[in-house]
Amino acid sequence: MQSNGLRLNPDKTEVLRVGGPSVSSIGDSLSFGGTTLAAKSEVRSLGIHLDPALTMETQVASVVRSAYFHLWRIAQLRPYLDRGALTTLVHALVISRLDHCNALYVGLPLRLTRKLQMVQNAAARLLSGVRKHQHISPTLAALHWLPIRFRVDFKVLMITYKALNGLRPQYLADRLLPPRSTRITRHSQQGRLRGLTPREARKEKTRNRAFSAVAPRLWNTLPTEIRLAPALGVFKSQLKTWLFKQAFPPVN
């Protein structure tokens, strides 16, 4: 900050200690330019609630609470709106909240993902008029809405494609490793990535939710023609179609 002629504003600065017990040696406060700032149990960045263990518990609770509130308000207006206006409101006030920075939801416990899924289900029922006791999957398929888990995978895979093709910051591309062999092999020609071994994960203190661990795992499950898509638009279209088939497999 000093080298760029910037000054720290203590009133707009927050400290969050992220990590396990090993970070306890940092202490409960940090000093910046003579100003002491106490570490907080939660901070908010770009609208995302972050806690020291990155559990996303508070974030999910906040999204669910806000989304249900807007669904309730939209439901009051439903008798006065046509289908197009109703759809616009649901996407703008509810679905957008579910999708905001949703790559952070990758690998969350099922109980948290289920809370987000229940919101999407409620939004689908509001639009379609499907009752609570009716199965929601056909409605999601008819709306062409990917379920929450698949929407999260979609976002991570989009980021991965952009990172591999120079459309994302270099620090993300640096986390995506080619296969170990230096020879040109069938696997390397298919655009596969090298995942982290358990030993590497421990060494880098990487958990299963880290981008360097998740991105290769998801990327290597894609069909070759999708991984080798020549343009972002082509990749996006093919990826959504493939994920849609995974989420709603045809009934024989």
Per residue in 50-61, pLDDT (tens digit) is 998 889 999 999
Strand partners, 50: 43
Contact present, 80 and 105 (Cβ < 8 Å): no
Cα distance between residue 10 and residue 29, in whole Å: 13
Q: How sure is the predictor about 36, in pLDDT bands with cuts at 50, 70 and 90?
A: confident
End-of-domain residue from the set 145, 163, 178 = 145
Q: Is 39 a residue whose pLDDT tops 70?
A: yes
Q: Is 50 inside a domain boundary?
A: no
Cα distance between residue 90 and residue 75, in whole Å: 10
The predicted structure's pLDDT at residue 251 = 73
**Residues 192-216, buried b or exposed e (16+ Cβ, 10 A)?**
bbbbbeeeebeeeebeeebbbbbbb
Strands (E), 106-192: none
Same domain, 8 and 28: yes
**Residue 114, C-beta contacts closer than 8 angstroms, at least 6 positions apart:** none
**Residues 93-130, buried b or exposed e (16+ Cβ, 10 A)?**
bbbebbbeebbbbbbbeeebbebbbebbbbbbbbbbeb
Same domain, 170 and 188: yes
Tokens 């880290």 identify what position? 210
Q: pLDDT tens digit string along 9-19?
A: 888 888 888 87
Count how many domains the chain has. 3
Q: Quick one: average pLDDT of 190-218?
A: 79
Q: Is 66 a residue whose pLDDT tops 70?
A: yes
Q: Flag whether the pTM goes above 0.85.
A: yes
Same domain, 77 and 134: yes
Q: How sure is the predictor about 111, in pLDDT bands with cuts at 50, 70 and 90?
A: very high
Q: How sure is the predictor about 189, in pLDDT bands with cuts at 50, 70 and 90?
A: low
Q: pLDDT tens digit string along 156-181?
A: 999 999 999 999 999 999 999 888 76
Which structural domain, as residue segments, surrounds residue 117? 55-145
